Amino acid sequence: MDNYYAGIGSRETPVKVLWVMYYLARFLADKNWILRSGGASGADTAFERGVLSQEHGDLDIFLPWDGFNGRKVNTYVKESDVPVVRTYLVPEYNEMMARQYHPSFRSLSSSARKLMSRNSYQILGSELKLPSKVVFCYTGDGKASGGTGQAIRIARDYNIPVINLHNMSALQRYFEEQERNGTFLTGSYSNILQQVNNAK
């Protein structure tokens, strides 16, 4: 079974955290994990660029509308088509889940509703039937806030681990657990941090 993960977060993610996301995405692409993200500036783009810098590792990008942040449906691909990039337009009619998890959905503008609806797909996939294995994200206060907070609420309801890079120790603990389980090689987390430090 494919390993999907959500790589999302604030448009105002700090530069150092963006580098962590970039190298984390590279690492996971090398493991053939598939990224789900939303095409926004900041965190989303850092994850995307990390995957696209590798020779393999696919990604699914969910757009609230065609042309969002310069991305077009089914046209955002590498020249070699490796990695494979699938872009999806979130259906306008499918707001039921977004309503369930947003405290004031009725008060949102039409565009904001589409953005909130997009989060459901980042967590559960194009048919809302295949949960991501884990969510890597960043919020400014370390909590389920902003647009990313919608995705976090959905993930928690589905018992999906949420690793908020506002607290880097959470990422370290996640890697240590995966290393103990044999999913990742020992020292993987340290290697990512070394790459981040070298990039600064």
Please write the tens of the pLDDT for every residue from 135-154.
Answer: 999 999 999 998 899 999 99
Phi, psi values for residue 189, rounded to 5°: -65, -45
State the pLDDT at residue 74.
74
Residues in a beta bridge with 135: 6, 162
Confidence of residue 76 (pLDDT cuts 50, 70, 90): low
Domain spans in the chain, listed from the N-terminal domain onward:
4-168
Burial 89-108 (b: 16+ CB within 10 A, else e): bbeeeebebbeebbeebeeb
Please answer whether residues 159 and 152 qualify as being in contact, where contact means their C-beta atoms are separated by less than 8 angstroms.
no
192, two tokens: 């990512």
Q: Does 161 sit behind a cis peptide bond, omega within 30 degrees of 0 on the bond before it?
A: no
User: Which residues does 28 contact at the CB level (< 8 Å), separation at least 6?
Assistant: 5, 35, 51, 57
34, two tokens: 């598939």
User: Which residues does 116 contact at the CB level (< 8 Å), separation at least 6?
Assistant: 98, 102, 105, 108, 147, 150
Greater model confidence, 146 or 200:
146
CATH fold, domain 4-168, is Rossmann fold (3.40.50)
User: In this predicted model, what pLDDT tens digit does every residue of 154-195 receive, in sequence order?
Assistant: 999 999 999 999 999 999 999 999 999 999 988 999 999 999
